[in-house]
């Protein structure tokens, strides 16, 4: 028989005869929510004593949610998303919403916080997760360039409106094919530095993605869960089917914070929480919350928000501005693969510059070209493939960098692409 937390007595939990409705506005107006100064605060609900419970996603730093149909999982997810929308500006937090069911997250289409339109196709979702890994790498390179360890330290550089500039060697991109070799005028100036927004990747129904591209999805989620915290990228994964083929060992190992709504069996409860209990929950928002760094479970009655309330908040937020989608997460017709990519006439106008950049720097990766030349990831990846066809770089070998097959001729003088 469990002991009541904070007391020297044991207790037996008995359901109320009349279920109390916990409203989202009660949690947001509570001192528990106000004490959290983070832009990533989540309203969860009330514990068994009626105390409002809120949590900081930045401390988790990723959240795993599971629950059967009718358990309140989707309502809980909406409460968390609204908590963030009501706490942060679009310049402070961006959302990447993935909804293979095409029903739950479509309500948030066209809000200014979105980094991309709501993704509904599993193949596109797998590709978006790969691109989020590229964005994580880009952010790490920027943090290293500025000599800081995480996104909080980076954003503090801009405190009180400070004007932050890049180190001299990385301020602009020079054309290595200029006719006037003594010219030092940059043709592609790098954009000015601005504070980085947090990015929350929210997936409603992970099982649908794992069916279509389990290996790619698991690899991308694993890399993001292991490394993305310092870069300000956080994950919220939700599923109705907490089986071992969906919540794999790699995923569970990197998600210490978990929420279990009512599930149908002890096996499902153990899969999500590593213990029984979720199979005894009452449904409709009844949940067990496991915070990061502890195996102790907290029983919470989740905050309720109706679909009509979600629509009202979304309408209000849409009136504040339009979304500005990141190029990395939107593929235009111009960047769509074509059948004659390998033909010279179909090659990118920046291909020769990218080729010289790779030969000069010795770094043959799409993410490097994407970051240095400020082009989209599909465009950079296509140029790397063309370099492989031309014998400039070797084939991809898993996680290892490509081998550089063509070296720079020291007898030919060109401007270094980034130092002039």
pLDDT tens digits, residue range 229-280? 999 999 999 999 898 889 988 899 999 999 999 999 999 999 999 999 999 9
Tell me how far apart the alpha carbons of residues 348 and 387 are, in angstroms, rounded to a whole number.
12
Domains and CATH numbers, the chain: 24-143+194-318 (3.40.50.300)
Tell me how far apart the alpha carbons of residues 359 and 205 are, in angstroms, rounded to a whole number.
43
Identify the residue with better confidence: 345 or 102: 102
Longest dimension (CA), the chain: 86
Residue pair 252/58 in contact by the 8 Å Cβ criterion: no
Tell me how far apart the alpha carbons of residues 235 and 255 are, in angstroms, rounded to a whole number.
9
Average pLDDT over residues 386-414: 73
Identify the residue with better confidence: 217 or 417: 217
The reported pLDDT for the residue numbered 347 is 56
Average pLDDT over residues 94-114: 93
SS3 342: coil
Residue pair 74/284 in contact by the 8 Å Cβ criterion: no
Helix (H) / strand (E) containing 27: helix 24-28
Mean pLDDT score across all residues of the chain = 84
Give 139-164 pLDDT, tens digit per residue.
998 898 899 999 999 999 998 888 88
Give 278-301 pLDDT, tens digit per residue.
999 998 999 999 998 887 899 999
Tokens of residue 21, six digits = 């409705």
Tell me how far apart the alpha carbons of residues 139 and 328 are, in angstroms, rounded to a whole number.
13
What are the two backbone dihedrals, phi and then psi, of residue 41, each rounded to the nearest 5 degrees?
Answer: -80, 140
pLDDT at position 343 over 60:
no
pLDDT at position 359 over 60:
yes
The reported pLDDT for the residue numbered 188 is 53
Would you tell me the crossing angle of helices 366-373 and 122-146 to the nearest 10 degrees? 60
Tokens of residue 58, six digits = 């930045």
Angle CA(147)–CA(256)–CA(252) in degrees, nearest 5? 105
């Amino acid at each position: 028989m469990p002991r009541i937390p904070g007391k020297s007595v044991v207790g037996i939990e008995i359901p109320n005869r009349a279920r109390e409705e916990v409203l989202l506005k009660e949690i947001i107006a509570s001192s528990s929510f106000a004490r959290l100064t983070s832009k990533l605060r989540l309203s969860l609900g009330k514990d068994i004593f009626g105390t409002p419970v809120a949590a900081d996603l930045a401390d988790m730093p990723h959240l795993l949610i599971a629950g059967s149909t009718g358990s309140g999982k989707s309502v809980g997810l909406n409460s968390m998303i609204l908590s963030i929308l009501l706490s942060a500006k679009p310049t402070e937090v961006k959302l990447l919403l993935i909804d293979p069911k095409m029903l739950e997250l479509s309500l948030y289409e066209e809000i200014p916080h979105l980094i991309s339109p709501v993704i509904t196709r599993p193949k596109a979702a797998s590709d978006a997760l790969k691109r989020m890994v590229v964005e994580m790498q880009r952010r790490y390179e920027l943090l290293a360039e500025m000599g800081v360890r995480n996104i909080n330290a980076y954003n503090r550089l801009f405190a009180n409106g400070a004007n932050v500039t890049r180190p001299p060697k990385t301020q602009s991109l020079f054309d290595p094919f200029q006719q006037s070799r003594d010219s030092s005028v940059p043709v592609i100036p790098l954009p000015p530095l601005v504070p980085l927004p947090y990015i929350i990747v929210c997936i409603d129904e992970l099982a649908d993605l794992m069916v279509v591209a389990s290996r790619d999805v698991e690899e991308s989620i694993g890399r993001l869960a292991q490394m993305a915290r310092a870069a300000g990228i956080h994950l919220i994964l939700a599923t109705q089917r907490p089986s071992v083929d969906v919540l794999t060992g790699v995923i569970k190992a990197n998600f210490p914070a978990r929420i279990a709504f009512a599930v149908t069996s002890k096996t499902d409860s153990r899969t999500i929480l590593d213990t029984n209990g979720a199979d005894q929950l009452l449904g409709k928002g009844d949940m067990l919350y496991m915070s990061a760094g502890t195996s102790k479970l907290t029983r919470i009655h989740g905050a309720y928000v109706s679909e009509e309330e979600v629509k009202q908040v979304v309408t209000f937020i849409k009136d504040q501005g339009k979304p500005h989608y990141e190029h990395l997460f939107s593929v235009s017709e111009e960047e769509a693969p074509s059948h004659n990519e390998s033909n010279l006439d179909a090659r990118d106008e920046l291909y020769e510059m990218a080729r010289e950049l790779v030969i000069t720097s010795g770094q043959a990766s799409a993410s490097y070209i994407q970051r240095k030349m400020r082009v989209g990831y599909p465009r950079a990846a296509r140029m790397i493939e063309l370099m492989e066809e031309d014998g400039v770089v070797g084939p991809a070998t898993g996680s290892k960098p490509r081998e550089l097959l063509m070296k720079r001729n020291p007898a030919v003088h060109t401007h270094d692409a980034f130092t002039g």
